[in-house]
């Protein structure tokens, strides 16, 4: 089998308890434009079943350059502005390679 | 589009620095038997590109019962025994639903 050389990203955002619905809307609006970006192979938004303030993006990019270009897009810039004051902590963004 | 009702799991295991290679081998051996379990839709093992001690399973299960049954399998039992003393912390297992 050909090795999977895609870049995987797991990005976690924790909403302040009183802003869960608003954060959910902002993050949801962010999915479709990201999927249309060049080099975005898969992009999903998850919500923790037992802790609704915990949101996670599970991302698959063709290469690191595509993922970096993502941060220069207008929809990222808008979302970051909209999220100001709504998150309980800085988003945690971790980058992975596929072992198996 | 039909909503995706699969259960998603993100399970993180942090190896002690001196045991990264051994943990990698144990976790890698664990992937194929898990993929053969009933209700396992997708199961991937990732390693953090800038922090090799950080391993993550990204999992997709047909339902919660299938994911629970996973913990009663022989390969989970064996892996947990083999990992004794090799991890820097208890594994963190979080369960998610797909928003988008």
Range A62-76 average pLDDT = 96
Nearest CA-CA partner of B76 in B38, B37, B19: B37
The confidence score (pLDDT) of residue B66 equals: 96
What are the pLDDT digits (tens) for B54-91? 999 999 999 999 999 999 999 999 999 999 999 999 99
Which ipTM score applies to this complex? Answer: 0.93
Chain A interface, best mutation among B9, B75, B99, by max A CB count within 10 A: B99
Distance CA B94, CA B39 (A): 18
Please check the confidence at residue A1 and state whether its pLDDT lies above 90: no
- Inter-chain contact B45–A97, Cβ cutoff 8 Å? no
Q: What pLDDT, in 10s, does the model give residues A32-51?
A: 999 999 999 999 999 999 99
Question: Is B82's Cβ below 8 Å from some Cβ in A?
Answer: no
pTM of the predicted model as reported, rounded to 2 decimal places: 0.95
CB pairs under 8 A between A and B: 76
Integer angstrom CA distances of residue B19 from A97, B48, B83: 19, 15, 10
As a whole number of angstroms, the distance between CA A36 and CA B97 comes to: 22
Contact B21, B77 (CB under 8 A): no
pLDDT tens, position by position, B16-50: 999 999 999 999 999 999 999 999 999 999 999 99
User: How much is the mean pLDDT over chain A?
Assistant: 96
Burial of B96 (0-12, 13-18, 19+ CB in 10 A): buried
**Residues A98, A8 contacting (CB under 8 angstroms):** yes
Cβ distance of A100 and B56 shorter than 8 Å: no
Architecture, CATH, for domain B7-96: 2-Layer Sandwich (3.30)
Query: Which strand (E) or helix (H) includes residue B58?
Result: strand B54-61
- When CB atoms are compared, the residue of A44, A56, A96 closest to B47 is A96
């Amino acid at each position: 089998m050909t090795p999977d050389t895609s870049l995987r990203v797991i990005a976690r955002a924790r909403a302040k308890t009183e802003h869960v619905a608003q954060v959910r809307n902002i993050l949801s609006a962010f999915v479709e434009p990201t999927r249309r970006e060049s080099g975005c192979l898969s992009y999903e938004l998850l919500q923790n079943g037992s802790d609704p303030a915990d949101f996670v993006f599970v991302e698959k990019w063709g290469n690191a350059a595509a993922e970096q270009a993502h941060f220069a897009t207008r929809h990222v810039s808008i979302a970051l502005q909209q999220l100001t004051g709504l998150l309980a902590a800085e988003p945690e963004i971790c980058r992975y390679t596929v072992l198996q």
